[in-house]
Amino acid sequence: MSSAIALALLLTTITTDTTLDLGRIDFAARFGKFDGCFVIKEVNTGPMHFYNEKSCHRRLAPCSTFKIFNALAAIDAGAVEGPDTLLKWDGTPNRRKECEKDHTLASAIRDSVVWYFQELARRIGPERMQRYLNGCDYGNCDISAGIDTFWLETSLRISAVEQLRFMERLYNDKLPFKPEAMQAVREMIVLKRGDGWTFSGKTGTGAGGTEKAVLGWFVGHVRSGDRQFVFAANIHGDGAMGPVLRDIVFDMLKDLGLIEQAPANTP
């Protein structure tokens, strides 16, 4: 066999290996003390792959993962001009000091600033917000708890599977928002980049009416070479927080070979 033929066979083997084996992840070790679920799918192709599939169908409050939707709706509706739109902090004390300052849309989604997105929701208004939710088939689409609170562990509920479907439509430009709005939000949720990969997403944390975090969400997207995947995960238990789950998911994507092992660079 010539060296050229051998090389061609090797390249064919590499490029046609599109399997996604969740058996490579030690979920007990990754989730540790938390009860968790995880679902991932390659964009435009293949099935969903699950850990704890039953829990992936359970609807929960989206918490701050809803900021992805809220940002899309705000840009599309003209409630903000774009990522650089600055809103002034009104001086109300906040337990998270990063919230006690003026913010742009980009910094508010990065720092998960609730007051900023409450103002966006009020600017969008209940009628437009309901139309957007219905158009996206976003969970139960229930805003009955109030225009600036419905996603904060009140009336709105969504499952991990529904989150994944929403994210796949976002990365396909198939949501009922202007293409420029979807592109802007995709850029704002990029968290890390490396050689041949990009890791994006949004955290969410819920307290369940207690003083401690008991629910963590992380939903997002990973680009690995010329392939794209969307995913959603949540965890439950004492200390369950979105940022904790973000790091767990990052490690699981490394287990799957979608992210290199070398240290990442921030965008």
**What residues are annotated to the active site?**
64
- Three-state secondary structure readout of the chain: CCHHHHHHHHHHHHHHCCCCCHHHCCHHHHHCCCEEEEEEEECCCCCCEEECHHHHCCCECCHHHHHHHHHHHHHHHCCCCCCCCEECCCCCCCCCHHHCCCEEHHHHHHHCCHHHHHHHHHHHCHHHHHHHHHHHCCCCCCCCCCCCCCCCCCCCCECHHHHHHHHHHHHCCCCCCCHHHHHHHHHHCEEEEECCEEEEEEEEEECCCCCCCEEEEEEEEEEECCEEEEEEEEEECCCECHHHHHHHHHHHHHHCCCCCCCCCECC
φ/ψ bin of 201: left (φ > 0), alpha (ψ from -120 to 50), beta (otherwise) = left
Report how far residue 257's alpha carbon sits from residue 267's, in angstroms, rounded to the nearest whole number. Answer: 21
**23 residue type, one letter:** G
Tokens 């990522």 correspond to 83
Does residue 117 contact residue 70 with C-beta atoms inside 8 Å? Answer: yes
Pair 43, 230: CB distance under 8 Å: yes
